[in-house]
């Protein structure tokens, strides 16, 4: 279970996606990109823009049934990608590697990339930007909401009433 939290802002996510695209540029051009839903959708869009890639496919892998981890299954297949040859897989994070293994098996000839990689999943990715400790839970911008926080002076004056 994760004991540390790391918050990724929209700006940081965008910078990391552009950095990954810069790393991937010499490997292209790619025939297309396969985003792993849902976390890979936004990074894939940014990377597709940077690499001038118009074909974006997605793959959806479900590993949970209610709250229990079950056998992973593909619920949306990336038909246009074939066996992955010439395609780039994009995800936000490779954690335990369960989803990555399923995607790798389905698209064995694709290049696998993600923004963030934990130790357990790192061997399954070809390219990533930041290594994250296994016990860290990443809070992505789509998982959080900015909230108004009153200035300390206002908070202290309300506390004294």
Tokens describing residue 52:
């001038």
| Known active-site residue 52 | no
Catalytic residue among 52, 77, 83, 95: 95
Identify the active-site residue in 77, 92, 143, 159: 92
Greatest C-alpha distance within the chain: 67
Q: Among 52, 65, 91, 159, which one carries the catalytic annotation? A: 91
Which residues have a Cβ under 8 Å from the Cβ of 111 and sit 6 or more positions away?
Answer: 24, 27, 30, 87, 88, 89, 126, 127
- Whether 77 is catalytic: no
Asked if 6 contacts 132 with a C-beta cutoff of 8 angstroms, the reply is yes
Catalytic, 91? Answer: yes
At what angle are helices 41-51 and 10-24 packed, to 10 degrees?
A: 50
Give the torsion sign (CA, 42, 47, 52, 54).
negative
| Enzyme catalytic residues | 91-92, 95
């Amino acid at each position: 279970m994760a004991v540390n939290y790391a918050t990724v802002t929209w700006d940081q996510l965008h910078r990391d996606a552009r950095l990954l695209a810069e790393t991937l540029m010499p490997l292209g051009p790619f025939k297309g990109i396969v985003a792993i839903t849902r976390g890979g959708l936004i990074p894939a869009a940014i990377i597709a823009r940077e690499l001038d890639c118009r074909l974006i496919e997605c793959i959806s892998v479900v590993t949970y049934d209610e709250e229990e981890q079950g056998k992973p299954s593909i619920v949306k297949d990336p038909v246009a990608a074939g066996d992955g040859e010439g395609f780039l897989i994009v995800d936000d994070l490779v954690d335990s590697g369960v989803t990555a293994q399923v995607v790798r098996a389905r698209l064995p000839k694709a290049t696998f990339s993600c923004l963030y990689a934990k130790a357990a999943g790192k061997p399954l990715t070809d390219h990533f930007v930041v290594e994250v400790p296994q016990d860290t839970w990443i809070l992505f911008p789509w998982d959080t909401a900015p909230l108004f926080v009153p200035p300390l002076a206002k908070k202290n004056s309300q506390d004294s009433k």
